[in-house]
Amino acid sequence: MISARGGLRNLTSLQYLSISRCDRLQTLSRGINHLSALQELYVGELHLRTDKEGMHWKGFKYLVSLKFWYLPELKSLP
């Protein structure tokens, strides 16, 4: 479990992240932009909403694989 205090900010070397079945998670924008070394991101089976703040995709310089599945409440991607 990732602490609420540090969040994702301390995971700057993380290269792979898979997020699924997190019932309380509604947005990814609050810390995912700190994952500058991320190469693979898989997100599914969540009730994410289209985020008013928007995700900051520019920080993903090394992202080579992105997969979304079953996100019924997500209406659009920034």
Q: How far apart are alpha carbons 76 and 59 in whole angstroms?
A: 20
Tokens for 46?
Answer: 């969540």
Whether 5 shows a pLDDT value over 60: the answer reads no
Asked if 28 and 51 count as a contact pair (C-beta separation under 8 A), the reply is yes
Q: What is the pTM of this model?
A: 0.75
Q: 63 in the Ramachandran plot: left (φ > 0), alpha (ψ -120 to 50) or beta?
A: beta
Domain limits of the chain?
A: 16-69
Residues above pLDDT 90, as percent of the chain: 27
Structure-token match 């991101």, residue found: 41
Q: How far apart are alpha carbons 36 and 34 in whole angstroms?
A: 6
